[in-house]
Amino acid sequence: MSPWILRGANASALSDKNPVNKRRDLIVLSALIEYPGLGLILFETGCAENIHVEWGAPLTDIFPRTEYSESQKLPAAIEATGNHISDVKAVIMGHLHLDHAGGLEHFAGTDVPIYTHEEELKHACWAVATGADLGVYMGHYLLLESLNWNTFNDSHLEIFQGISLHHLPGHTPGLCGMQINLQRDGTFIWTTDQFHFRENYELGHPHGALARDHNAWYRSLNTVRRLQRLYDAKLIFGHDKIVAMEYKNAQNFYQ
């Protein structure tokens, strides 16, 4: 297990003469919401299409994209639902790391509002401009003059009726989880990378090198646990392929 994802993973003791390094496939996720009276809302956008140009080495070696077909590109994935990417009327960003925000390139030059927490946009710009956190943030998708940025600084915000954003700092300063209350299928919380995997949440096991604020991460863990109990919410984690495929294989859509 990568030390990026679980703190202490792949660490070995002197007494362990043959430590085993485990690998695990991750998934990159977006959510498409059909919202009555508005149209389509997109939660996060995935990576840039051409990461070999936009990321380059060594990032493509450290964070390799091992499976990527035409059908997995954002415009094609939206078309598979019977819609077009131009039908997206709003984009909600849980956070602005390169594997979640790279697809913002598709919205450059449009008036589609891009919603993100004020602290996240500030930190992303600082991280790139100074190089202090360059790599997990990249400049190619921030596009300050060609994206329609909309920020908020609430700790809890009902951005649309039935869709709430909860500020969950720790992994990044402005990370927000999305809670959506569905009439038939109940409440879902998209945790984005507050939790990469189920184990981060269930075991209370924080990230390794990808955590930025240890104490804030634990406070955010407790926030999500309270929300889950209160709403009996189903959780979708930032990169947990097993959990994501369980929901995807159970039914084609949720309502």
Residue 195 is part of which domain span?
Answer: 31-250
pLDDT of residue 210: 78
- CATH number, domain of 244, equals 3.60.15.10
pLDDT of residue 5: 59
Tens-digit pLDDT profile for residues 98-138: 999 999 999 999 999 999 999 999 999 999 999 999 999 99
Q: Regarding predicted confidence, which is higher, 145 or 210? A: 145
CB 165 within 8 A of CB 211: no
Structural domain contains residue 107: yes
pLDDT over 70 percentage in the chain: 91
Tens-digit pLDDT profile for residues 183-193: 999 999 999 99
pLDDT above 80: residue 81: yes
pLDDT over 90 percentage in the chain: 84
Tokens of residue 111, six digits: 């008036």
3-state secondary structure (DSSP) of residue 235:
strand
Structural domain contains residue 14: no
pLDDT of residue 18: 67
Tens-digit pLDDT profile for residues 11-56: 444 466 665 666 778 999 999 999 999 999 999 999 999 999 999 9
Instruction: Give Cα separations from 169 to 37, 148, 150, 157, 245 (angstroms).
Output: 32, 23, 19, 15, 26
pLDDT of residue 12: 45
Tens-digit pLDDT profile for residues 116-126: 999 999 999 99
Domains in the chain, number: 1
Task: Assign residue 242 a region (left: φ > 0; alpha: ψ between -120 and 50; beta: otherwise).
Answer: alpha
pLDDT above 90: residue 1: no
Tens-digit pLDDT profile for residues 157-190: 999 999 999 999 999 999 999 999 999 999 999 9
pLDDT above 90: residue 205: no
Tens-digit pLDDT profile for residues 229-241: 999 999 999 999 9
CB 117 within 8 A of CB 169: no
Q: Which pLDDT band, with edges at 50, 70 and 90, does 211 fall under?
A: confident
pLDDT of residue 38: 96
pLDDT of residue 14: 44
- Residues 132 and 63: their CA atoms lie apart, in Å, by 19
pLDDT above 60: residue 84: yes
pLDDT of residue 25: 86
Structural domain contains residue 62: yes
SS3 labels along 174-230 = CCEEEEEEECCCEEEEEEECCCCCHHHHHCCCCCCCCCCCHHHHHHHHHHHHHHHHH
Structural domain contains residue 172: yes
pLDDT of residue 6: 56
pLDDT of residue 63: 84
Its pTM stands at 0.93
Structural domain contains residue 15: no
pLDDT of residue 9: 55
